[in-house]
Amino acid sequence: MAGLDTVAGRKLRGYLEVPGTEVRIPYTDVRGVKDGPTLLLSGGVHGGEYPGIAAAIEVASRLDPQELHGRVMVLHLTNPPAFWGKSQYWNPLDGKNLNRCFPGDPEGSASERMAARVIQELRQANYWVDMHGGDIHEELVPFTIFSDHASDEVRKTSEAMARAYGIPRLIRSGSVAGGSYAAAAELGVPAILPESGQVGQLDPVSQAIHVQGVFDVLHLLGFLEGDPTPHTAPQVYTRFVWSRASQQGFWRPRVHPGDRIALGALAGILHDVYGETLEEVRSPEAGEVLFTASSFAIGADDPLFAVAAP
Ligand SMILES: [Zn+2]
């Protein structure tokens, strides 16, 4: 395409305007000198998941168009209102979780319009890596999710991307309504959602896990020459069960991410303002705890912890 030739070998910076809102999503569009596919890379769909945002910034800065086959479209900060509002899970413009809004609606609320704008970019892409981590009040050990509800081809490629990313825990996920990798699977685009980082910290180790993972995926898919780093076989989980609070309360977790837990074992206690137990929260599954809420304040239906099992 003649239009593409004029920008091959360049990095283009700009903002995706989200029609009907004030939201502008900053991007770097890296156009390789050589032909190839397109990968969409996003950070900050959740505004308090800082290592993924910093990793997007770092990858955009390090990618060299002279070495790149194809195109990498980097969304540095996909949810600016949540980031600047220091808001976990929710976009302050409409109180919605952007990662439950895909594929979005260009006539909908702010988050639905933002989701639709991202999906417009995804339609031009062959792959999607959507970087997450524990949010401001989430303790978490790293893991990578991909959709099991996809065509064989999409599922196989997604799993290969997840393995190349190098995080030693993989989750073959059922369909999460409105989630990024589920929307990608619907469109026939292989996608992964790696989680690295926790509790509102910008820690360099979690950022480095994302950056290395992205470069390994780019090697795997032929965007960059050379092989991805070899990794030992990951633990693969097919069940990922979240427990939510039945009521508002003060949360005292008894387990932490990385702990093994038995079916029915005590995972934590919700108590009232006087310290009287409201509920002993027990594990609905035997497996590995991958996430716990670190907030003392818990609202009804807030997530408390999640357990993964083979
Ligand atoms: Zn997230």
pLDDT tens digits, one per residue of 1-40: 444 556 889 999 999 999 999 999 999 999 999 999 999 9
Cβ-contact 57, 65 below 8 angstroms:
no
- Tell me how far the alpha carbon of residue 197 lies from the centroid of ligand 1, in angstroms: 10
Whose tokens are 């508002």? That residue is: 248
53-96 pLDDT, tens per residue?
Answer: 999 999 999 999 999 999 999 999 999 999 999 999 899 999 99
Q: What is the mean pLDDT of residues 225-249?
A: 95
pLDDT at 6: 67
pLDDT at 3: 47
- Tell me how far the alpha carbon of residue 68 lies from the centroid of ligand 1, in angstroms: 28
- Tell me how far the alpha carbon of residue 132 lies from the centroid of ligand 1, in angstroms: 4
Query: For the sheet containing 266-271, what is the strand order?
Result: 277-282, 266-271, 249-253, 297-298
- Tell me how far the alpha carbon of residue 133 lies from the centroid of ligand 1, in angstroms: 6
Set out the domains of the chain in order of their start, with CATH numbers.
2-235 (3.40.630.10), 241-309 (2.40.50.100)
pLDDT at 5: 54
- Tell me how far the alpha carbon of residue 102 lies from the centroid of ligand 1, in angstroms: 13
- pTM reported for the whole predicted model: 0.96
Percent of the chain predicted with pLDDT > 90:
95
**Is residue 224 scored above 50 in pLDDT?**
yes
Whose tokens are 């062959």? That residue is: 126
**Is residue 49 scored above 90 in pLDDT?**
yes
- Tell me how far the alpha carbon of residue 130 lies from the centroid of ligand 1, in angstroms: 9
Q: How many CB atoms lie within 10 A of CB 171?
A: 23
Report the relative pairing of strands 277-282 and 266-271 from DSSP bridges: antiparallel
115-150 pLDDT, tens per residue?
Answer: 999 999 999 999 999 999 999 999 999 999 999 999
pLDDT at 173: 87
- Tell me how far the alpha carbon of residue 223 lies from the centroid of ligand 1, in angstroms: 26
Please, which residues bridge with residue 266 across strands? 282
Question: Taking CA 236 as the corner, what is the angle to CA 234 and CA 241, rounded to the nearest 5 degrees?
Answer: 135
Whose tokens are 């995972």? That residue is: 267
- Tell me how far the alpha carbon of residue 89 lies from the centroid of ligand 1, in angstroms: 7
146-196 pLDDT, tens per residue?
Answer: 999 999 999 999 999 999 999 999 999 887 789 999 999 999 999 999 999
Nearest alpha-carbon partner for 65 in 218, 188, 177: 218
- Tell me how far the alpha carbon of residue 193 lies from the centroid of ligand 1, in angstroms: 9
- Tell me how far the alpha carbon of residue 250 lies from the centroid of ligand 1, in angstroms: 23
Cβ-contact 306, 242 below 8 angstroms:
yes
- Tell me how far the alpha carbon of residue 1 lies from the centroid of ligand 1, in angstroms: 36
- Tell me how far the alpha carbon of residue 45 lies from the centroid of ligand 1, in angstroms: 6
- Tell me how far the alpha carbon of residue 222 lies from the centroid of ligand 1, in angstroms: 27
260-279 pLDDT, tens per residue?
Answer: 999 999 999 999 999 999 99
- Tell me how far the alpha carbon of residue 98 lies from the centroid of ligand 1, in angstroms: 9
Residues with CB under 5 A from ligand 1 (ion): 46, 49, 132
Q: How far apart are alpha carbons 263 and 267 in whole angstroms?
A: 10
- Tell me how far the alpha carbon of residue 54 lies from the centroid of ligand 1, in angstroms: 14
- Tell me how far the alpha carbon of residue 44 lies from the centroid of ligand 1, in angstroms: 8
